[in-house]
Amino acid sequence: MSKAVLSPPGSIVPLLGNEAIARGAIEAGLDVAAAYPGTPSTEIGETLAEAARELGFHFEWATNEKVASEVAIGAAWSGLRAMCFMKHVGVNVAADALFTLTYAGTIGGLVVVSADDPHAHSSQNEQDNRHYAVAMGLPMLEPSTPQEAKDLVYRAFDLSERYALPFLVRSTTRISHTRAPVRLGEIRERRGKGRFKPPEPDRYVQVGAIARKHHRELLEKLTRIERELAPELAEVRGGSGDLGVITSGVAYAYVLEAARAMGLDVPILKLTMTNPLPAERIGEFLRGLQRVLIVEELDPYLEERVKAIAKDTAPDVEILGKAQGLLPRVGELNIRLVVGALSRVTGRPSPIDFSALEERAKPALELAVSRPPVMCPACPHRASGYVIRRAAGTAVYLNDIGCYALLFQRPFNLGDVTHAMGSGVGFANGISLATDQKTVALIGDSTFFHAGIPALINAVHHKRKFLLVVLDNRITAMTGHQPHPGVPVSATGEEVPALDIEKVVRGLGVEHVQVVDPFDFKAAENAVREAMKHDGVSVVIMRRECALLTVRRLRREGVKIVPYRVDPEKCTYCRVCINTYACPAFVDTGKVVEIDPTVCFGCGSCVDVCPYGAIEPMEGSLDWRGEKIGV
Amino acid sequence: MASDVSEFNVIIAGVGGQGILFSSRVITRAALDSGLNFVQSEVHGLAQRYGSIKTEIRMGRDVVSPLIMEGTLDLLVALEPIEALRYASYITERTSIVMNTHLVAPIGAYLERKRIPRVEEILEALQTLEPRRLEALNAVEVAERAGDIVVTNSVLLGAVDALGVLPFEEGALRRALEKEAPRRYLELNLRAFDMGREEILKR
């Protein structure tokens, strides 16, 4: 967290959208927040975790998004102000609780934040969670800058209490991960302790007739919100002429700049509340125009709804957008794409000849060999992948969500499937049932707790035969090192009981369980070989701390990181190190392999990979295996 | 003074782990302290793991979009040469480039036997785009002389400062570094900054 988040009211500080969301909640008097880390939402939690230590409210990294939502809901039903937040796919996990929540309503202000990831920068899909808001009956607000993100979250708490309904704030990567100056407001007092007291006896009991009654009430609330609130959460910005633009979220920023670049002064309707939509306001806007371009990322959510509204209010207005292919449904938007759409609609030329720029750039771009993310130097998952590849051989490999998902890449090829949290173990159930193929599922420690356990129970109960490798790096690494139930510290630094994965697995009835250090190639390979022979579900836990944590700790302790080197006399340029271990520190000079000292963390795990013993420590290099560093 | 700038666009590009987010924070800190509006976008999560990384920083009165439009780039800072190439379509005669010459080849390229460009080729390709200025330096080597290669990014910030293109007053960037650097590494960072600056000024 940047220290700026807790600066005094009135100061203008540079905040990431996610930090601004956290600050908004803090200003609103947040009592309880819970979440499961997921890009692009994680920094909300990082910020709250640090602020909670100072201000005394509660924040926790929960086991998964459903549990996190239930923690927040329980607190809000007890009259406190609560928030849960998650990445877009996290809402899938929380959905079961959230759908019924809108029937139940809330007493304390309750805000749900969904951070969507158009472009799937760090995600398995590009799902557009605006549809959830409609399906769940959740009022939805969409900020278009970090400042708005803070202000809307703050306001959402009050609105939630006013309508006794949770409010959804939908962010996207380019809001959550955009830093901009934000003016801070006063921090309201917290309530502290709550008391669970339903407003009516059956308020939180959703069965049959009661649920139908609550469903009716929800629809009435949404009608009220559309009438009372939605119109003021929409704004028209200047402009003249018969062409208008309707937009929301970060797309608004692209529209403003695209219009400026083209010298266009179009009227823009910016929608801040996108469920329920202010139908009358939209109708008024449409009536003054002949054509309207809808600019939004992903699905034609606004476009289709505006068309429906236009049918009743302004049937002659032409609604343009994705249907005409003016803007893409895949990937995120930017100024250039909006310039392109405006240019096609108005017939005005683009201010910049993009194709000429691209043509000119071609030779340079052709040289730019691609660089997808890879596992870090010293990453224990690389060692695990190396060991599994050698010991388990040909098999169906069901990977999961985490840094180790990268093991699908060459040279490991351990990922026939990467799908959703915990799905690897679930699919192993199905594939081992349907085929006679060897089946290996891989799952990380945090993902295991999140969603791996029910599928493992199913496998034990149904006598399945497959190997589950738990890649236990003692942290939720991919999102930036958040603790999980297997770690003895809470988000806010409190000492808490850590659940031992080995005991959990044994407790579930798995009989063949081994724990190994993946840097100990021999022991780890033996463990995999033995486990593959077991007639039933077997589990191998490959346990070694995330290398980034190890390196950080060593640096903190003042230990200098000294890389390893390759003895050019001994190197035969067989490339076995590159072809089987693929550490990003290896450099192929065309004659020998070298180690880039700016990349190598000096773990020494690659020493045994070289058949000629050419990889060696330098003066001061550590040996993470021999010296038991990171285990 | 600075606050009347309409728009100044920066890309900082490199490989995950090279301290790009830190460098961006220093620049935005300087912007804020200079009374300049800014918007900066960055990448977190899996993409950070030794893949291509960039941040886009936009400063000035009129900026709202977190992303830069091709053809409007004012400054490209590349912590790694291959990463400089990726933004070729953004480069015009208004673009200044500062590039570290220490090449880190993507390991995947070795596995797929793809050709890795030489630094001279990269410089030539960038030169063809006729940037306003192109300065290449081995920032790793300078950082090593300053005391530790972890401050390679501060060497490049110093080099950027020497160009004098940023819309800040003299000294603003260094003061921002002073504010943002961790206390323990403050001196090391400032030394790296000064040496990077010197490296360009003596040319």
Please state, in angstroms and rounded to a whole number, the distance separating the CA atoms of residues A482 and B99: 34
Contact B70 A336 (CB under 8 A): yes
Contact B107 A374 (CB under 8 A): yes
Angle between helices A88-104 and A208-228 (to 10 degrees): 100
Contact B128 A363 (CB under 8 A): yes
Confidence of residue A350 (pLDDT cuts 50, 70, 90): very high
User: Tokens standing for B62?
Assistant: 């009129």
| Interface probe, candidates B95, B107, B141, chain A, greatest A C-beta count within 10 A | B107
Chain B residue numbers touching A584 (CB-CB < 8 A): 50, 104, 106-107
Please state, in angstroms and rounded to a whole number, the distance separating the CA atoms of residues B134 and B121: 14
Say if residue B45's pLDDT is above 80: no
* pLDDT, tens digit (0-9, with 9 covering 90-100), for A131-141: 999 999 999 99
Please state, in angstroms and rounded to a whole number, the distance separating the CA atoms of residues A414 and A405: 8
Residue spans of alpha helices (H) in A493-616: 501-507, 521-533, 547-556, 576-580
Tell me whether residue B160 is exposed, middle or buried, using C-beta atoms within 10 angstroms of its C-beta: 0 to 12, 13 to 18, 19 or more: buried
Say if residue A1's pLDDT is above 80: no
Contact A180 B40 (CB under 8 A): yes
Closest alpha carbon within chain A to B33 = A13
* pLDDT, tens digit (0-9, with 9 covering 90-100), for A464-478: 999 999 999 999 999
At residue A9, the 3 state secondary structure works out as coil
* pLDDT, tens digit (0-9, with 9 covering 90-100), for B87-109: 999 999 999 999 999 999 999 99
Chain B residue numbers touching A181 (CB-CB < 8 A): 32, 37-38
Chain A residue numbers touching B114 (CB-CB < 8 A): 369
* pLDDT, tens digit (0-9, with 9 covering 90-100), for A93-130: 999 999 999 999 999 999 999 999 999 999 999 999 99
| Interface probe, candidates A46, A171, A175, A179, chain B, greatest B C-beta count within 10 A | A179
Closest CA to B14 of B38, B42, B34: B42
Chain A residue numbers touching B108 (CB-CB < 8 A): 370-372, 374, 409-410, 582
Confidence of residue B1 (pLDDT cuts 50, 70, 90): very low
Confidence of residue B48 (pLDDT cuts 50, 70, 90): low
Contact B64 A361 (CB under 8 A): no
- Among partner residues B25, B39, B106, which is closest to A371 by beta-carbon distance? B106
pTM exceeding the 0.95 threshold for the entire prediction = yes
* pLDDT, tens digit (0-9, with 9 covering 90-100), for A219-251: 999 999 999 999 999 999 988 999 999 999 999
User: For chain A, what percent of residues have pLDDT higher than 90?
Assistant: 97
CA A589 to chain B, closest CA, distance in angstroms equals 10
Please state, in angstroms and rounded to a whole number, the distance separating the CA atoms of residues B65 and A249: 11
Contact B149 A598 (CB under 8 A): yes
Return the pLDDT at B3. Answer: 56
Closest alpha carbon within chain B to A178 = B41
Bridge partners, residue A351, by sequence: none
Weakest-pLDDT range from A478-482, A567-571, B3-7, B148-152? B3-7
Return the pLDDT at A212. Answer: 97
Contact B105 A587 (CB under 8 A): yes
Confidence of residue A394 (pLDDT cuts 50, 70, 90): very high
Give kind and range of the element (H or E) at residue A223: helix A208-228
Please count the other Cβ atoms lying within 10 Å of the Cβ belonging to residue A312. 9
Contact A336 B152 (CB under 8 A): no
* pLDDT, tens digit (0-9, with 9 covering 90-100), for B150-170: 999 999 999 999 999 999 999
| Cβ A135 vs Cβ A193: under 8 Å | no
* pLDDT, tens digit (0-9, with 9 covering 90-100), for A501-540: 999 999 999 999 999 999 999 999 999 999 999 999 999 9
Rounded alpha-carbon distances, angstroms, from residue A133 to A120, A141, A310: 20, 10, 22
Confidence of residue B16 (pLDDT cuts 50, 70, 90): confident
Mean pLDDT of chain A: 97
At residue A22, the 3 state secondary structure works out as helix
Chain B residue numbers touching A369 (CB-CB < 8 A): 82, 105-106, 109, 114-117
Contact A178 B40 (CB under 8 A): yes
* pLDDT, tens digit (0-9, with 9 covering 90-100), for A395-448: 999 999 999 999 999 999 999 999 999 999 999 999 999 999 999 999 999 999
Chain B residue numbers touching A375 (CB-CB < 8 A): 49-50
CA A599 to chain B, closest CA, distance in angstroms equals 8
Rounded alpha-carbon distances, angstroms, from residue A260 to A253, A289, A322, B101, B123: 11, 20, 22, 37, 34
Please state, in angstroms and rounded to a whole number, the distance separating the CA atoms of residues A582 and A407: 11
Contact B82 A376 (CB under 8 A): no
Compute the average pLDDT of residues A590-594.
97
Contact B125 A586 (CB under 8 A): no
Compute the average pLDDT of residues A5-20.
96
- Among partner residues B43, B91, B106, which is closest to A177 by beta-carbon distance? B43
Residue spans of alpha helices (H) in B79-185: 81-85, 107-111, 119-128, 139-146, 152-163, 172-180
Closest alpha carbon within chain B to A260 = B62
Contact A374 B88 (CB under 8 A): no
* pLDDT, tens digit (0-9, with 9 covering 90-100), for A282-334: 999 999 999 999 999 999 999 999 999 999 999 999 999 999 999 999 999 99
ipTM over cut 0.90: yes
Q: Residue written as tokens 């006794």?
A: A164
Contact A257 B43 (CB under 8 A): no
